[in-house]
Structure 1
Amino acid sequence: MGQKMNMPAYADEPIYGWACEALSGGLNLADLEYKLSDNQSPNVLNMWYKNRTLCKRNGQAWYSAALGADVLAAYTKLYKGMFVVHAGTRIFTVSRDGKTITERMNGLTAQGGSFLLFANKLYYRNGAEYVVFDGSTCARVMPTVPNVVINRAPDGSKGDATDPYNLMGAGFSNTFNGDGTTTVYQLTDTGLDAATVTATVGTAHYTEGDGNFSVDRAAGKVTFSTAPGAGQNNVCITAYKTAQDEINSILHCRYAATYGGQNNSRIVIGGNGTSTFFISEPLDPAYFPANNDFTVANNSGDIYGFGEQYDILCVFLERSIYGLSYEFAESKGMFSTVCINPNVGCDMPGSIQLVENRLVWCNSYAGVHTLVSTQIENERNVQPISRNINGNVARPGLLQEQGLVTAISCDFDGRYWLCVGGYAYVWDYGVSPYSYSGDTDADALRLSWWRFDNIVGRALCEDDGTLYIWRQNRMVRFQNDFEDFGGAIHGIYQMPLRNFGQNDYLKTVIECWITVRADTASRIRLKYITENDPNGEYDTEDIIVPSKMWKGFLWNAFQWTVINFAKSFRRKPNKKKVFLFGILLENNEESRDLSISAITMTWRSAKKIKS
């Protein structure tokens, strides 16, 4: 952090020093430049704080061939050694090395959705289709056919209700007690579909059209050519009746999560244009019972996603958050819902991540938030954390980006990435973890946010410590170099304008020292900025660091390692009688870093400001 310290005097005029040796504060667009902390920046691009040094972000390189259509969604992890992606109307897999692309399914609607791993299979829903991939075969999910009644009399006069109807399918079964004389069996439903009816009598299996029975679809009756024998639950008839509105309520859901029980044994889905969500049967993602639906917020608004924090599944609406809880009592699972926050929600479904056991998400009207507590009693359980980067008309930032609702995100290597509009806004929570103190602004102020450009993506995924992004129809890998696709990464870092703690004096800046790493090739241009020259003036001499990789063998570890050296470069800004002073450092050359470990300078008072 910055500090003010006495320096040796020259000609009876005291010389003071200013230094910042941890440039970790990140971007701050919210506050006036001269009000920023010493380690923050009003203008930083494509830089992050890594290994206690400010340096350029990782570069990008093409990793796979083109898919032939733009990517709409991708699974965030490697699945059975493959990347899985929805592009156009097809689902593809891409081999781990990026070289082999295999089409797995065609005929999907070209709209994005979400993948979910459940019971070692990968499920995908996009608001129109619901498919499953097991590593070799990709197909539409076939709805489970529930047995809705047992012990039913042939005439339908009695029976015991069992399983609810399946909202996602038309099929249902009735199980009867045969009496040995009756040939006509009355089903629970009339107006049946044209789908083939089947029956099992004892151990014999019959299919409509084989001469063993006929069907009166309008009346919902099945007439056997020979009366089934007497027995308990020895006659089972399966028929179909489509309730398209109910089926659509399931198929149109775009978001899913696992929840319930000790091992998250159910799938919860939502996002069909209403505030109703649905819960599957345990361990059966093809069965959404008719009595397992919950409506929140008086059926107003839509659901934009789910996120689990501790034992609560949060349901995100645009302007509110509800919590789903589960408990097992009296030999059955019980679900209940409660409003967690009635004012703040999420309309950016791709932004939801679990970061250090706290949910983090973004909305288009107030920025990034975190969930401090799932207890409704805590009225401040949702806290904003992006005040530094939200931006405004004068200094555009996150909330001025186009297409916010299509943002994508990930939690990778101690950083929360939020990508939108060709930029990535990255919170380094490894450097600045969130801690709730009750002071909302102060808690958000100290978080380190960074902004990268040229980050164009449809989906993010990771594998074994490497981050990938799908850029239109090709996969891109982030790698430890200083190039984007063979070109330069434009790195910028501007220290905040400083008055050096003296509000009543003009100053003369004498010297400055820029400390850089000596093990990466760098060329740094320096621009001096004052209140009289806000556009700045370049120094005539750049800082140049040739590429030198020093290696030494560690006998006790039996591995090679890089020993990182630092080197300071002195410059003389020669800025006299200025009130505010700052330095902008930049580099826009391929294969060159912008490495800054510390900034130090000396100055003396020049003239007292008269009112």
Structure 2
Amino acid sequence: MATIKTSKKTTPTTINVFYGLNESTDGDTELKLGEASVMKNWRVTDGGKLKKMEGYAPLFTSLGTGKIQGQWYGKVTGTFYHLFAYGGSIYKRTSGTNTIIGTMTDAPTSFFFFNEKVYMKNGHEYKSWDGTTFADVAGYRPKIAISTPPGGGGTLYEETNRLTGAKHQTFSPSGTLTAYQLAETAITSVDFVYDGTTLKTAGTDYTVNLTTGIVTFTTAPTAGTPNSIDIGWTKGTGDRASILGCLFARVYGGANDSRVFIFGNDTTRNRLYYTGLADTVPSAEYFPANGYIEVGSDEFSVTDAQKHQSSLLIFTEKGSYYASYESVTLSSGLVAASFPAYSINDIKGNVALGQVKIINNNPLSIYEGIYEWTLITVGSDARNANYISRRVQPSLDLVDLTKAVTFDWEEKGEYWLCVGSLCWIYNYRIGVWYQRENVKAYNFLEIDGELYFGTDGTIMKFDPDLRTDNGIAIKAVWEMNFYDFGFEYLNKYMNNVWASIKPDPKVRLDIATVTNNDGTGETQTIYYSLATFEHADFNKWSFLTSYNPQPFYIEIQAMGFTYFKLILTNESLNEDCTVLSINMPARMGGKVR
């Protein structure tokens, strides 16, 4: 009796959840269904769907060929400002207009806000802006001694300030002595002398011997009021180079954010400097002479520091540390703040200067790959560093990670790492990776949930309504793994594929199939247009009005294959796409021979 052989049907294979990019070194046949071997310019939504990424456009006409060196957004004296550095100038942007507020060396610039001022550092200068005045940070004049008798001495009160050679000292007059000995000799100048609130006049009320550091009053000041005499003077310029040479700043203070820590000076590469309290008030303009931390060996630079819970985590090119507040008595007898550093890991640190980001309250650092730091404890235990970039490590290995620029786009729950014009994006809400091309970013900024990046001559803004990168088509590519439908030893047959698409005013999806024996098949295109006259294209006109998910059917000819994959693309200048699911009903045949 004759029989007709038919292939066995199986339950259709459906991708309902997309799991992002996995560049497995074991080959893409080992990926789980929903992972992609190539994924560029698609985003995985929080619901696990595939959505083409938005485009961007310039915020303003290009200023020229130079780089946007840094940017900041926040409130100063009650008004929100967008500040950025370009071409040796600092601009404020308000109401769509760019206005120069000051000048700085054209170099990468970091901004931070402290005590009602915006501060700017670029490794050459240290500037501030209070909404009106843009100026060099001259530095706080410390009160180095109080309750001083005319003959000198007194009680030590504050350390000298690295930013300036200016100081002052208060005296308690005896009522009879006229000569007052300052704490320093060979001084540059005496800048003021106060008796109570009265400013005295040089030459009339007093004379100065710069060599001995003695101020002699014409008439002995009246006794009875402690610290009624206040004398200010200058000797030298301090050690400004150590502070001006730093590029980055972080705010930390132990239980409160009362101090500024700076780093990035090539001449003191393993050192962080920190501010003190200026007469008990937090200040970004007072760097005490002993206010610094030396971390590890001077062979390796400090590359970042971030507040983590009650500690300051410090990263070097090789190794990581933590510091927290302690008080210490100096050899002079003065009690000062101290932040000793203790090792966490002797190997893993961070290689990209200033690019550690706090994600979900845990630091992410760059050392060969990307590490999330959890369970921070004292000791060199590498298990504190959770390796999270395994799925994209092959492509990360091809670039220089010391040049990485990173950002946390909190609105999207995305950690961005960009080198050149290619970005690796980690959606930390759902734990998946994908890539974004054509983003040449020197820095990023988020304003009201929207992402901006500084590039050559201008600032670009991502916009969910844009389908191009400043007029250039965005080619979104999602390439499925080679899949065997659970039976690698059987031949398969498939005649159709269904794709479920989210309705939008204009949608396009190009679908290509690839098998192990026939290579890449013909690309087929799905179009969908809701009935709207906005930007209407009557060549693709449709009177469809449903906003419900729409399944689309395409015919394919995939015969006798073992492995199968789909490639989904969208390179349209004006058509969006969100893929909700893919259905692939394969039929099983005979054994592979």
Structure 2 match to 1:72: 69
- What is the one-letter code of the residue matched to 1:214? T
Could you tell me whether the CA contact under 8 Å between 1:506 and 1:578 is conserved in 2?
A: yes
Secondary structure in 2 aligned to 1:250?
A: helix
Q: Alignment partner for residue 472 of structure 1, among 419, 444, 456?
A: 456
Q: Select which of 500, 503, 508 maps to 1:515.
A: 500
1:466-505 maps to which residues of 2 (within 5 A)?
466-481=450-465, 482-505=467-490
Match of 1:212 in 2: 205
**Shift of the alpha carbon at 1:85?**
1.0
Displacement of 1:130 after TM fit? 1.5
Which residue does the alignment assign to 2:375?
A: 373
TM-score (norm 1): 0.84
Moved more, 44-53 or 165-174: 44-53
Give the conservation status (yes or no) of the 8 Å contact 1:355–1:411: no
Q: Which moved more, 1:568-577 or 1:494-503?
A: 568-577
Alpha-carbon separation, structure 2, partners of 1:141 and 1:601: 66
**Alpha-carbon offset, residue 302 of structure 1:** 1.8
Cα distance in 1, alignment partners of residues 197 and 479 from structure 2: 80
Q: Distance in 2 between matches of 1:301 and 1:206?
A: 52
Q: C-alpha distance in 1, partners of 2:402/2:40?
A: 20
The alignment covers a number of residue pairs equal to: 559
SS at match of 2:579: coil
How far apart are residue 202 of structure 1 and its match? 3.8
How is 1:53-452 mapped onto 2 (pairs within 5 angstroms)? Answer: 53-68=49-64, 69-75=66-72, 77=74, 80-95=79-94, 97=95, 99-106=96-103, 108-156=104-152, 158-193=153-188, 195=189, 197-206=191-200, 208=202, 210-231=203-224, 232-242=226-236, 244=238, 246-273=239-266, 274-282=269-277, 283-326=282-325, 335-363=339-367, 366-376=368-378, 379-391=382-394, 397-402=395-400, 404-413=402-411, 414-432=413-431, 448-452=432-436
Residue 162 of structure 2 aligns with an amino acid whose one-letter code is L
1:77/1:491 CA distance change after superposition, 3 Å: farther
Provide the TM-score with structure 2 as the length reference.
Answer: 0.87
- Which residue is equivalent to 2:332? none
Alpha carbons of structure 1 residues 538 and 389: separation in structure 2 relative to 1, 3 Å: same
Structure 1 position 180, deviation (Å): 4.1
| CA positional deviation for 1:402 | 5.0
Query: In structure 2, how many angstroms separate the alpha carbons of the residues matched to 1:58 and 1:74?
Result: 22
CA contact (8 A) 1:55 1:595 kept: yes
Provide the secondary structure at the position in 2 that maps to 1:538. Answer: coil
**174-183 vs 306-315, greater mean Cα deviation:** 174-183
Q: Which amino acid aligns with 1:140?
A: D
Structure 2 vs 1, CA of residues 14 and 354 (structure 1 numbering), >3 Å: closer, same or farther?
same
Distance (Å, rounded) in 2 between the aligned partners of 1:360 and 1:549: 45
Q: Would the alpha carbon gap of residues 126 and 267 (structure 1) be closer, same or farther in structure 2, given more than 3 Å must change?
A: same
Shift of residue 425, structure 1, vs aligned partner: 1.5
**Is the CA contact (8 Å cut-off) linking 1:78 and 1:463 kept in structure 2?**
no
Letter in 1 for 2:566: I
1:305-342: per-residue Cα shift (whole Å, max 9, x none)? 22112111111211122112236899996644322222
Does the 8 Å CA contact 2:74/2:80 hold for their aligned counterparts?
no
Structure 2 counterpart of 1:90, one-letter code: S
Identity between Structure 1 and Structure 2 (%): 25
User: CA 1:401/1:549 → structure 2, altered by over 3 Å: closer, same or farther?
Assistant: farther
Give 5+ residue unaligned stretches, structure 1. Answer: 1-9, 392-396, 433-447, 551-561
Contact 1:84–1:94 at 8 Å: present in 2 too? yes
Which segment is superposed worse, 565-574 or 180-189?
180-189
- Residue 580 of structure 1 is matched in structure 2 by 563
CA distance in structure 2 between the partners assigned to 1:76 and 1:360 by the alignment? 23
The SS at the match of 1:173 is strand
1:28 aligns with 2:8: no
Tell whether 2:569 aligns with 1:606: no
Distance 1:498 1:88, change over 3 A: same
- Distance in 1, matches of 2:456 and 2:32, equals 39
> Within the alignment, does 1:49 sit opposite 2:53 as a pair?
no
Report how far residue 428 of structure 1 moved. Answer: 1.1
Structure 1 CA distance, aligned partners of 2:476 and 2:173? Answer: 80
Distance between the aligned counterparts of 1:78 and 1:60, measured in 2?
25
In 2, the alpha carbon distance for the partners of 1:320 and 1:580 equals: 45
1: distance between equivalents of 2:449 and 2:531? 26
Distance 1:298 1:419, change over 3 A: closer
Unaligned runs of 5+ in 2: 330-334, 534-544
Question: For the Cα contact (< 8 Å) 1:354–1:360, is it kept in 2?
Answer: yes
Distance 1:226 1:149, change over 3 A: same
Indicate the SS of the match to 1:510.
Answer: strand
Q: CA–CA distance in 2 between the matches of 1:11 and 1:570? A: 27
CA distance in 2, matches of 1:17, 1:582: 17
Residue type at the aligned position of 2:229: V
